[in-house]
Amino acid sequence: MRTSTNSTSPRAANARRHITAALFLSAVGGLCAVGGLTIAGTVTTKTVRGKLRASADESDAAGRFNMDVREKGDRAKERLAFTATGLDAAKDDNGDRPTYDLVLITSDDAEADLGAVKLRRNGAAKFKYRSKQDGLGDDFDGLADFGGGTIELRDGADVVLEGDIPEFLSAGDDPEPGDGATYEARNSRKLKPTTDDSDAKGFITAQSKAMPRSDFDRVVVEVIRAGRRGDELTVVAIDRNTGDETELGTLKLRGRFQAGALKLDTRKGDEIPGGGIGDLDGQNIEVRDSDDAVVLSGRFPSLDTSDDE
């Protein structure tokens, strides 16, 4: 009797990856999404995180927070997550537990009260802020206003927990260990077939991230139906002013949907040809077959937020 199993063979897993990629590219026409923002322009993500310490020496309470500001053009999605442990959760004479409010304070002492956190009977608490559902008030543009300020958990007028909010980074900033801040920029462009009767689809993604202990750059080219299974394609960048060509690498088409991917990641020791992402910005991109015929073409994505089209 055949028994069922939850394990997946490498061949089946590989097939599923290619099918998923094919359906994905077909559904979105070669565009991908990051955190709900479709990439057709630069998406930047600024993150700060830190700890909250107890104001009273005898307290075992402690907290953590994480803030994300994700922007594309003039659109932004912001999130704040807060957790705490060791809080006093004892009920009063009326059977009510304490009410703790989470407050953000700018570097010039302007305050935004986010409201009460969810307190459990074991003294643990959590709070989530989403810019789409919640607001900071008319006096603030967003969470980035509080970079360099403080975060407090209050019981009425008493500060129970407090912590420093790191400055949010911008492009080109170099974070140091202990800063608690990261910056990421990411953009994708479609690669279009060069003939009207082609079913080929693809996109190229550039990503750069600055972190306190390491920075990395990443380039990904993914295509489907750009030839026959087993074909090897070459990805080339072409300087629009000089015509100089830079070979970025090769990819091999596999599976039922002839899917292939080229991935360059400096975290893994890869070198991005042509001087790096900044030097490739705006160059023409061609995906060529073994006969040097161009099957897909497009432009290398820019990570300059002022250069979005």
pLDDT tens readout for residues 235-270: 999 999 999 999 999 999 999 899 999 999 999 999
Whole-number percent of the chain with pLDDT over 70: 85
Closest to 179 measured CA to CA, from 307, 80, 50: 50
Helix (H) or strand (E) holding 20: helix 10-28
How far, in Å, CA of 308 to CA of 79, rounded?
Answer: 24
- Of the candidates 283, 286, 289, the one whose C-alpha atom is nearest the C-alpha of residue 302 is 283
Please state, in angstroms and rounded to a whole number, the distance separating the CA atoms of residues 239 and 220: 19
Question: What CA–CA distance (Å, rounded) separates 208 from 97?
Answer: 46
CA distances in angstroms from 274 to 189, 205, 220, 245, listed in the order given: 19, 16, 15, 9
Closest C-alpha to 39, from 231, 190, 228, 148: 190
**How far is 19 from 16, CA to CA, in rounded Å?**
5
- DSSP secondary structure, 90-118, as one string: ---TTSPPP--EEEEE-TT--EEEEEE-E
The residues near 31 (Cβ < 8 Å, ≥ 6 apart) are: 38, 39, 40, 188, 190, 203
**SS3 at position 71:** strand
How far apart are the C-alpha atoms of 42 and 174, rounded to whole Å? 20
* Tokens 């040809």 -> residue: 273
**Is residue 247 classed as helix, strand or coil in its secondary structure?**
strand
Task: Please state which of the ranges 32-36, 42-46, 90-94, 169-173 shows the lowest mean pLDDT.
Answer: 32-36
Distance CA 90, CA 95 (A): 9
251 within 8 A of 304, measured Cβ to Cβ: no
pLDDT tens track for 208-228: 999 887 889 999 999 999 999
Taking only the tens place, the pLDDT of each residue in 117-131 is 999 999 999 999 998
Distance (Å, rounded) from C-alpha 54 to C-alpha 162? 7
Q: Over the stretch 79-132, which tens digit does the pLDDT of each residue have?
A: 999 999 999 999 999 999 999 999 999 999 999 999 999 999 999 999 999 987
Q: What angle do CA 214, 216, 221 make, to 5 degrees?
A: 160
- Go through the chain and tell me how many residues it has: 309
If you search the block for the tokens 């080229």, which residue do you land on?
A: 262
27-31 own/partner pairs: CB under 8 Å, 24+ apart: 29/190, 29/201, 30/190, 30/191, 30/192, 30/201, 30/202, 30/203, 31/188, 31/190, 31/203
Q: Which two tokens stand for residue 200?
A: 């080929």
Helix (H, G, I), strand (E, B) or coil at 143: helix
Write the burial class of residue 124 (CB in 10 Å: 0-12 exposed, 13-18 middle, 19+ buried). middle
DSSP state for residue 1 in the 8-state scheme: -
Confidence class for position 10, pLDDT limits 50, 70, 90: low
